[in-house]
Amino acid sequence: MSQPPLLLALDLTGTFAFGLNGALTAVRVVRLDLVGVLTLGMMTALGGGILRDILIGSLPPATFSDALYLGVAAGGALVAFFISVELERFAKLITIFDAIGLGVFCVTGASKALAYGLGGVQAVLLGALTAVGGGTLRDMAIKRVPSVLTSDFYAVPALVGATLTVLTVHLGIYGIASALVAAAVCFTIRMLGVRYSLRVPSTPRRDGAGRPAVAHPGRDSGRTPRSETSTDTPRAAAVLAVFDSALAWQEDFYRDLHAHPELSHQETRTASLVAERLRGSGYQVHEEVGGTGVVGVLANGDGPTVLLRADMDALPVQEDTGLPYASTATADGEPVMHACGHDVHVACLLGAAQLMASATGRWNGTLVVLFQPAEEVADGARGMVDDGLRALIPRPDVALAQHVLPMPAGTVATNAGPTLAAADSDASSTGKVAEAFAGFFGDRAGPLGRWAASEDFSDLATAFDIPYTYWGIGGLDPDLFDGGSQDVPANHSPTFAPAIQPTLTTGTQALVVAALVWL
């Protein structure tokens, strides 16, 4: 049975869009070569249609009876590959092309099912299958939980588009206009779901935390299976044992960052240095997410996914610390300074990322390290989400972050509930981190309380609908706090100058200890 011209045109449009989507995923998410890009692109473009045709008895599937499908799918993949340098900076394109393919294929799948004599309900289901099938195969191929199996707003738009298609056929008004409307409705619902983080209701998460870690007896015979709530101080100590030799670069890296601050949305140099070091540690790296954001992903077998975040931007402040590495940078004639300690955050997270990468035999799961721009203007986290962050990384089970504060260097402090003016910490996850800190840091760990500052870290956790914890690390010379001194510089002050040590060591240790609560 030959396809009507309308169905053929829509089918080829969806094939090209999904070919682009699959290839962009191969380029951005897993950095495949040309063969890998073609394979993932064609798998994404053709998989749903092949499954549909097999189920309705349209054999051989259109993909194999009409070489045009193969050519269009390969063409979409090749376009993405050869202009990947230009496309790679637009992470949102992955989501957009995915939504286009979703909208088109739910219409063609339902229409073809009806043309082969299936009932309305069956046609709706086959329309949705056509739409999500290629994306599901794509996600399985790169070892990512398929979007259709999560609470993500993915299958719902396809079901709506397929239902509209069936209704227009039964009402006798099906044609090019109605088909495009149904596809557009599916596309719009999908993009609204991404934009506003809409989610399908999911099963309750046990005690607000992620799924339990999976034991791998063959990976580390000396490791005892543990529960997700346990505090494993000896394991953290083992990961951190090589700190001095492995992170000999960290102090100089910090001084360089401090001397070269960049304002919100201008963190290009910092982002480049971060990406280079992450690649050297073996992470899959995504750059220019939300402008200048950088994300590193390290998959290490089955287990939970933990997101660690650091912010990168500086402030329009004239530095008055007298440090030999003090900033003399300017932007548009205005002085710029790391007056809030984000240089500490970046250096600590890079150190933790390297240590975790060098100790993969001691943990299981996936570690996501996220370096966020524009925290000081409170739109950097949201910008990364809007630029397709959720399509780039596996859904975390927990998000963790820290901030250097005017407390004695070497201390860490946690707080359940509201912590900063625009950030708080989901109590169960914070309790686990606090327990781990107490076990590792002893009397250097304590309560944080509330601080009159702002943060947008919670936007990341909200986008994924996950628990999160935010803690403080001390950054100032402990002698400043003796005798009740009033001369303690606060964040955003021209004289705010964290003591390099033990601040960097403590901040790096805290990130590793907290991540290992879940991994």
**284, 353 Cβ separation under 8 angstroms:** no
Higher pLDDT, 458 or 424: 458
The alpha carbon of residue 277 and the mean position of all alpha carbons in its chain are separated, in whole angstroms, by 18
Q: pLDDT tens digits for 283-301?
A: 999 999 999 999 999 999 8
What pLDDT does residue 109 have?
A: 94
Reply yes or no: is the peptide bond before residue 489 cis, omega within 30 of 0: no
pLDDT over 70 at 226, yes or no: no
pLDDT over 70 at 2, yes or no: no
CA–CA separation, 238 and 242 (whole Å): 8
CA–CA separation, 358 and 463 (whole Å): 30
pLDDT over 50 at 217, yes or no: no
What pLDDT does residue 482 have?
A: 74
What pLDDT does residue 448 have?
A: 84
pLDDT band for position 225 (50/70/90)?
very low
pLDDT over 90 at 184, yes or no: yes
Token reading at 268? 């290009």
Q: 271-305: buried (b, 16+ CB within 10 Å) or exposed (e) per residue? A: bebbbebbeebebbbbbbbbbbbbbbbbbbeebbb
- What's the half-sphere exposure (Cβ side, CA atoms, 13 Å) at 172? 0
Percent of the chain with pLDDT over 70: 83
**42, 73 Cβ separation under 8 angstroms:** yes
pLDDT band for position 148 (50/70/90)?
confident
CA–CA separation, 426 and 466 (whole Å): 8
pLDDT over 50 at 218, yes or no: no
Q: What is the mean pLDDT of residues 496-506?
A: 95
CA–CA separation, 312 and 266 (whole Å): 10
Q: What is the mean pLDDT of residues 308-312?
A: 97
Higher pLDDT, 492 or 98: 492
Q: What is the mean pLDDT of residues 376-395?
A: 93
The mean of the pLDDT values for the chain is: 85
pLDDT over 90 at 251, yes or no: yes
Q: What is the mean pLDDT of residues 79-83?
A: 84
In order of 159, 182, 432, 458, the CA distances from 93 in angstroms are 23, 21, 38, 25
pLDDT over 50 at 216, yes or no: no
What pLDDT does residue 452 have?
A: 46
Identify the helix (H) or strand (E) that includes residue 10. helix 5-28
pTM: 0.62
Beta strands in 421-503 (DSSP E): 423-424, 445-447, 468-476
**372, 312 Cβ separation under 8 angstroms:** yes
What pLDDT does residue 480 have?
A: 85
Residue type, 439: G
Token reading at 325? 């590495």
Beta bridge partners of 472: 403, 413
Q: pLDDT tens digits for 395-416?
A: 999 999 999 999 999 999 998 6
Residue type, 466: I
Work out the number of other CB atoms within 10 angstroms of the CB of residue 30. 17
pLDDT band for position 90 (50/70/90)?
low
Phi-psi sector, 409: left (phi>0), alpha (psi -120 to 50), beta: beta
What pLDDT does residue 229 have?
A: 37
pLDDT over 70 at 203, yes or no: no
Higher pLDDT, 426 or 118: 118
- What's the half-sphere exposure (Cβ side, CA atoms, 13 Å) at 180? 5
Q: What is the mean pLDDT of residues 120-149?
A: 86
CA–CA separation, 232 and 243 (whole Å): 18
What pLDDT does residue 209 have?
A: 35
Task: Look at the alpha carbons of 62, 68, 72, 73 in this order and tell me if their dihedral is positive or negative.
Answer: positive
What pLDDT does residue 456 have?
A: 87
